[in-house]
């Protein structure tokens, strides 16, 4: 199942635990999605140190096949993407 999350704030806010990236879709994650989301948050916290501020936007998304769910030909299999962008 696919998931996404995003937030925006100053570099100081985001770096001090302010990465409020609660999933926006779906609102509740199953275990495979929750593990991906947690990993993406760790990566986002590392990346904000590499992008000039003062204000940044973080977008994260992924797809995690659920327990017993097999990859479908021509469809996205498991993936995670994290984007940290400077906001003017």
The predicted-structure confidence for 9-61, as pLDDT tens digits, reads as follows 888 888 776 666 666 667 777 888 889 988 998 899 889 889 988 899 999 99
Six token digits for residue 57: 């936007």
Sign of dihedral through CA atoms 67, 31, 80, 24?
Answer: positive
Contact (Cβ atoms closer than 8 angstroms) between residue 55 and residue 11 = yes
Two structure tokens written together for 68: 């017993």
User: What pTM does this model have?
Assistant: 0.81
Pair 83, 69: CB distance under 8 Å: no
pLDDT for the residue numbered 11? 84
């Amino acid at each position: 199942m696919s998931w996404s999350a995003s937030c925006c704030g100053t570099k100081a806010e985001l770096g001090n635990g302010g990465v409020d990236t609660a999933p926006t879709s779906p609102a509740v994650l199953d275990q495979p999605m929750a593990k991906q989301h947690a990993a993406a948050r760790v990566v986002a916290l590392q990346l904000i140190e590499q992008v000039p501020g003062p204000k940044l936007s973080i977008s994260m998304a992924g797809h995690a096949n659920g327990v017993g769910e097999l990859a479908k030909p021509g469809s996205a299999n498991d993936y995670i993407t994290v984007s940290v962008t400077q906001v003017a």
